[in-house]
Amino acid sequence: MTTIILTETERRQAMRRAILCQCFGVLGQTLFTSNVVLLYLLALGIGEAQTLMYLALPNIMLAVLIAPIAHFSDRARIKGIGNIGILILIVGLLVLGAAGIFAIPAARAISSAVGIIIFGVGMAVFASVWYPLLQPIIPESLRGRFFGLLRVSWQLVALGASASIALLLSFWNNLSVFQLIIVVTAGLTLFRAVFYHSIPELVAPAKERTGLLAAMLRLAGVREYTAFGSYVFLLTLFTAVCPSLFALVEKNALNLSQSTIVTLANAGMIGAIIGFWLGGVAVDRYGTKHVFLTCHFSYGLVLALFVLRGIFPAPALVILLGGLHFLFGMVMSASSIAITSESMALSPGRHNTLALALLVSVLHAGTFLSGFLSSATLKAGFLMKHWLWLGKALCDVDALIAGCAVMIVILVVTLGLVPSIFRKTDLG
């Protein structure tokens, strides 16, 4: 590939445009992370297990589609592909919002599933070219801080949007308000295309015509690359679904209001903002090794405390839950900065777009399986709906959270798969 060189002024302008692009672009994803879509699906009459399955659908789209799209992108103009992804995202949101129009439960279920699938396809198309577009723009020495600033910025916007939604739900919590929120979000996502268009495309299409399977086999032969992908998959498998599990416990076991549940999710967003900033600084200053080690053990601690919430005084329950959401968001964000930085450092120069996309694909495959397995477990019904531990009442979803906590601790051995931990690298 032929690379165009930017001046320092042009580089910094491109970085600012990338930040503004994502501030509008992630509003659709925020509906999922702030549990708005979860509450909307439950309001449509869709059951718990089916809701968890639906929430996992965007991730299976990412896991399946991102690699072939990225491989094609190596030979095409990646910005054009990104614009198509934005359009598909908007269509998916509109179809999802239209589900509430139907009175028949089956029609609601089908429409919402189709909308989420289309949204997931749009995410896959856009994600396949996003990191390759940014990689030549961002100097390696600034990657941690840039991605920290990028994610702090869009998380602040997402937090503001989610706080507004929580306030709205406290006054108006019928089905139509969810539809209004989704349609408005679709409209705001149009601004993503405006800023995306202004980001320079520095890499020209490749002339090489290696097949997808041959390229993937070549990447699979890079030991450090494949080892890191394995770690990302296993970590995501036991952490990605946890925010949704928290919300199910809060709604169905603790009987908290919809507004309170969204507010607790907002606490997770505030934690994410701090986590993005701390993670960015820590990666650039100390390397990814220390960030991975800290985050891995912190995940297990937060999940264990959520299950043990009953040992704390009842009046402080909501404060405790808010603190746990905050900590979980902070840990997940710091971990994501380390994953992004290490991914860019490990991706081979040849088939770079595909290499980055495959790591993103692996991450979303873990996220999908996390939701799918949780959904299947709840639907199978072999977990006790109500049980006691240390004299405290818990539910079947608590059992899933406890299982995730145990597995994360057991999977400490997988830290040896992270290149910056098992050997010295230029990352730390």
The predicted pLDDT at position 360 comes to: 82
- Mean pLDDT computed over 326-355: 82
- Mean pLDDT computed over 261-280: 88
Cα angle: 330, vertex 332, 167; to 5 degrees: 60
Q: Is the pLDDT of residue 301 over 70?
A: yes
Give pLDDT tens digits for 19-31. 999 999 888 988 8
Dig out the tokens for 122 from the structure: 């749009």
Instruction: Point out the least confidently predicted range of 207-216, 269-278, 404-413.
Output: 207-216
- Mean pLDDT computed over 186-203: 87
- Residue 204 domain-assigned (yes or no): no
Angle between helices 36-43 and 105-134 (to 10 degrees): 160
Which residue would you say has higher pLDDT here, 97 or 63? Answer: 97
Instruction: Point out the least confidently predicted range of 3-7, 59-63, 141-145, 159-163.
Output: 3-7
- Residue 414 domain-assigned (yes or no): yes
- Residue 428 domain-assigned (yes or no): no
- Residue 241 domain-assigned (yes or no): yes
Residue 273, domain extent: 8-198+209-420
The predicted pLDDT at position 76 comes to: 67
Which residue would you say has higher pLDDT here, 419 or 14? Answer: 14
Confidence of residue 212 (pLDDT cuts 50, 70, 90): confident
- Mean pLDDT computed over 77-91: 89
The predicted pLDDT at position 207 comes to: 59
Dig out the tokens for 357 from the structure: 């996309």
- Mean pLDDT computed over 266-288: 87
- Mean pLDDT computed over 234-262: 89
Give pLDDT tens digits for 113-140. 999 999 999 998 998 888 888 878 888 7
Q: Is the pLDDT of residue 427 over 50?
A: no
DSSP class of residue 74 equals T
Tell whether pTM > 0.85. Answer: no
- Residue 427 domain-assigned (yes or no): no
The predicted pLDDT at position 21 comes to: 92
The predicted pLDDT at position 350 comes to: 64
* pLDDT > 90 fraction of the chain, expressed in percent and rounded: 29
Task: Give the three-state DSSP class for 203.
Answer: strand
Query: In Å, how far from its chain's centre is CA 314?
Result: 32
The predicted pLDDT at position 179 comes to: 92
Count structural domains, the chain: 1
The predicted pLDDT at position 145 comes to: 82
Confidence of residue 426 (pLDDT cuts 50, 70, 90): very low
Which CATH number belongs to the domain containing residue 325 in this structure?
Answer: 1.20.1250.20
What gap in Å lies between CA 182 and CA 166, rounded to an integer?
Answer: 14
What gap in Å lies between CA 289 and CA 269, rounded to an integer?
Answer: 24
Contact 155, 273 (CB under 8 A): yes
Confidence of residue 405 (pLDDT cuts 50, 70, 90): very high
The predicted pLDDT at position 107 comes to: 93
In sequence order, the β-bridge partners of residue 392 are: 389
The predicted pLDDT at position 322 comes to: 94
The predicted pLDDT at position 425 comes to: 41
| Secondary structure of 374-418 as H, E, C letters | HHHHHHHCCCCCEEEECCEEEEHHHHHHHHHHHHHHHHHHHHHHC
- Mean pLDDT computed over 258-264: 86
| Secondary structure of 241-280 as H, E, C letters | CHHHHHHHHHHHHCCCCHHHHHHHHHHHHHHHHHHHHHHH
The predicted pLDDT at position 228 comes to: 86
- Residue 45 domain-assigned (yes or no): yes
- Mean pLDDT computed over 235-256: 90
Considering the chain, what is the average pLDDT of its residues?
Answer: 85
Residue closest to 46 by CA, chosen among 127, 107, 121: 107
What gap in Å lies between CA 34 and CA 264, rounded to an integer?
Answer: 9
- Mean pLDDT computed over 40-61: 87
Which residue would you say has higher pLDDT here, 301 or 345? Answer: 301
Q: Is the pLDDT of residue 1 over 70?
A: no
Q: Are strands 386-389 and 392-395 parallel, antiparallel or unpaired?
A: antiparallel
Q: Compute how many other C-beta atoms are within 10 angstroms of the C-beta atom of residue 423.
A: 9
**Encoded amino acid at 50, one letter:** Q
